[in-house]
Amino acid sequence: GVPALLIRLPVAVPGGLESAGRHYAAFSRICTHQGCIVSLNTNLEAIAVAFNYRSDLPQLTCPCHFSVFDPLQAGAAVSGPAVRPLRRVALELREGEIYAVGLERS
């Protein structure tokens, strides 16, 4: 019942999962500020200009009040009014398939 997304990352992160040498993490898409839906934003210039956050990697961004969450920092709020991290989705590997098995924190 919680919208979430799974991201492939360049390195291992806390709470993430490794499968076949690839690193993954999953997060709730519910912004911890006021509940809008965050998205993976790959436009680094837009993140710098519109969200006032400079990064070399895609970030999870919220369009409502411009919060930015860093998937490489376990979903930490790194810019904007949000201060709490996105909830992480617990992942498990079963016979080579990745399953979401719950939310790790509130």
Residues in the chain: 106
| Of residues 19, 6, 23, the one with CA closest to residue 88 | 6
- In this chain, which of 7, 36, 44, 90 binds ligand FES, going by CB under 6 A? 36
**Site for ligand FES contains 33 (CB under 6 A):** yes
Over the window 3 to 22, marking each residue x when it contacts ligand FES by CB under 6 A and - when it does not, the resulting string is --------------------
In this structure, the dihedral spanned by the alpha carbons of residues 87, 91, 74 and 76, taken in order and rounded to 10 degrees, is -10
Does position 43 interact with ligand FES (CB under 6 A)? The reply is no
Tokens of 46: 């837009």
Tell me if 81 contacts ligand FES by CB under 6 A. Answer: yes
Please tell me whether residue 78 binds ligand FES under the rule CB under 6 A.
no
Distance separating alpha carbons of residues 106 and 95, to the nearest angstrom: 29
Q: What is the 3-state secondary structure (H, E, C) of 66-83?
A: CCEEEHHHCCEEEECCCC
Interface segment toward ligand FES; rule CB under 6 A; list 3-11, 14-22, 43-51, 77-85: 77-85
Q: Which is nearer to ligand FES, 29 or 91 (CB)?
A: 29
Give the residues lining the site for ligand FES (CB under 6 A).
31, 33-36, 62, 64-65, 67, 80-82
